[in-house]
Amino acid sequence: MIRPVFTFLCVCVLRMGGFSVSVTQAALQSDEPCYDWGVWSVDSVRVYDGEVAPLYCPLFSHPTLYNYNQTQNSSLSLLWYRHKNTHDLEQPINLKLRKLHKDREYLWIQPATAEDAGLYICMLRNISTCVKIGVQLEVIQRDGDCDIRARPHLNLSVPLNSDRILSCPDLHTLTLPNSTYSVTWYHMCIAILFSPMPSFELKGDNVVIHMMMEALAGLYTCVVSYQMNGRKLNFTRTINIKSIVPNGLSKVPVIQNPAKGQIYSVTVGKRATLFCQAYLPYLEHEKTEVWWTIDGKTVEQLGDPRFSSPEATLESEYHGDETKMRLLFVDDFTSDDLLRELSCSANNSKGFNSSRAELKLEEYVPTIELGCGLGVTLALMLMMFVIYHVFWLELLLVYRSWFGSDERYTDDKQYDVYISYARNSEEEEFVLSTLRRVLETEFGYSVCVFDRDSLPGGTITDDTLRFVGLSRRLVVVVSPCSAVRGTQALLELQAGLTSMMQGGSVRVVLIQFKPVRRQSWVKELRRARLALTLIRWKGEKSAPVSSRFWKELQLELPIRRHTQHTALTKNTETQLTDKNSNIPITHTENTYTGKRKLMDSCSLCAV
């Protein structure tokens, strides 16, 4: 007996709250009856295609009947279903889908598409109780970024000359964990941030209307954006504002700007612009005035050329009422002007009104100067980067010539360069006719070539080690023949590497004359290639003295600030002194050892 009475009372209360009751007789007669309260008839949920749809369960619209926290304590479960037209079946919502999210009494569809439109049913049930209600979801297509013909979610009437704060409807539903949001407002599809209207402004997430006017009526649109699970989601709400004439409106002028709490920002040394706007009720054959006063005097009475106050024309009239604006320009604003009393005044035959302007000093930020300075700096950095990228070799050579030290004054070496190469006709011609010639005649280096500078009767191993020890650089010409074991070229490379590791008195430089497959390199060449610079000879392209090859080679060779030297010509005598015997020996450049002490095995290899 108690249950039917309770059910009847619930149905009566919910009908008064806007529910469409349709408790089916079949449900009442079933073993586990579920009371169907129909479809929520107050309003449907309307969202744009591709935006978030928050569905609120209408069962919680009357907290005296159902409260979310109380239902959780009473073991009632909130379930969501979607009504399918086929056979009138209700299918449970799959909350495992990424786009669906349940948060307390809300079901979120993130985002909603046209396929998601339809009837959704929220149900509260446990073992002994079951009740459900439907809510309709409409997914509509957007006409551009902002639809001025959209049906509003909220209608408001605001009296003229009053203030009002507009908040985005349903913004409180965004209190989801780990989510932040931003709100963008539009008035008649024009972004409020760039709107020239002085009587309203953005403050946080709200729009503050300082003084309601006819021009401020119309459709306000707020677009809420937030991030959820790495996706950017939006939903849009619209408010339709209608301006109304308040009862008993006074005919006394109303100052709309400066409004209460409105602050004008000024900068010392710049021109300050202040606007005075007054609403003047209609009076027949009435003359109205709007003006600025500075310390109780009008601009004309003040007589200061820095102050000027032209009148601005506004074409806004409402039932004979009009709005007038007068500007105030202050040239070369000073800190003393902050102490002045700047007031906007208006009067007619019915009365007088005035409002003082509140000023706020802002520090001058030299935006143009900073922008130009930053632009010049970036341009210089880019130009220096390009110059260095293109001419880095030349810059390093110039730096070495200015600040480097000549090694001839810090060691007792006899030669600048010792050239090591495989003894075959092609490499011998490259070394003697090109490499040696340029190093001696063009750059002024003293060059040692074993076959040219060694004396008959010595031991190849001892003479090689002695020549390498007397040289500042060991230039190794790398080719397929250099990889053959048992050659003098390999002995010279080993001597140079050993000298570098023990004392660092000799630096080894590798010149790739012919490409060599890495698999065929001997162990010494592989180790040297990993630690040393490899300069590649590119045939005719590298032949000119101004080519990149010779510049890279100069960076590895000792510094020579002065190129004045005595060119070594053919048949020029050179004196060598044997450190062991101190006996001067004379020989000519074109004199080679009568017969080589070792026939290089590389002389027969194919290059």
- Exposed e or buried b per residue across 442-464, where buried means at least 16 C-beta atoms within 10 angstroms of its C-beta: ebebbbbbbebbbeeeeeeeebb
CA torsion angle for 477, 483, 485, 486 (degrees, to 10)? -20
Cα separation, 410 vs 407, in Å, equals 5
Active site residue ranges? 492
DSSP state of 470: T
559 touches 404 (CB < 8 A): yes
Report the SS3 class of residue 419: strand
- % helix / strand / coil in the chain, to the nearest 5? 30, 35, 40
Give me 352's structure tokens: 């007088």
Q: Which residues contact 384 (CB under 8 A, 6 or more apart)?
A: none
What values do phi and psi take at 124, rounded to 5?
-110, 125
Cβ(358)–Cβ(263) under 8 Å?
Answer: yes
Distance from C-alpha of 110 to C-alpha of 105, rounded to nearest angstrom: 16
Dihedral over Cα of 7, 11, 13, 14: its sign: positive
Residue 417 is classified by DSSP as E
**Other beta carbons less than 10 A from residue 439's beta carbon:** 21
- Alpha carbons 267 and 281: distance in angstroms, whole number: 35
Got the DSSP string for 560-599?
Answer: -S--------TT-EEEEE-TTT--EEEEETT---SS-SS-
Give the tokens for residue 368.
């143009």
Among the listed residues 305, 123, 137, 153, the one whose alpha carbon sits nearest the alpha carbon of residue 221: 153
First and final C-alpha spacing in the chain: 112
Enter the DSSP assignment of 150.
P
What is the DSSP secondary-structure string of 259-285? PTT-EEEEETTS-EEEEEEEEE---TT
Spatial neighbors of 596 by CB under 8 A, at least 6 apart, are: 423, 451
Name the 3-class secondary structure at 53: strand
Q: Which strands form 534-536's sheet, in the order they lie side by side?
A: 447-449, 415-420, 471-478, 507-512, 534-536
Are the CB atoms for 520 and 485 separated by under 8 Å? Answer: no
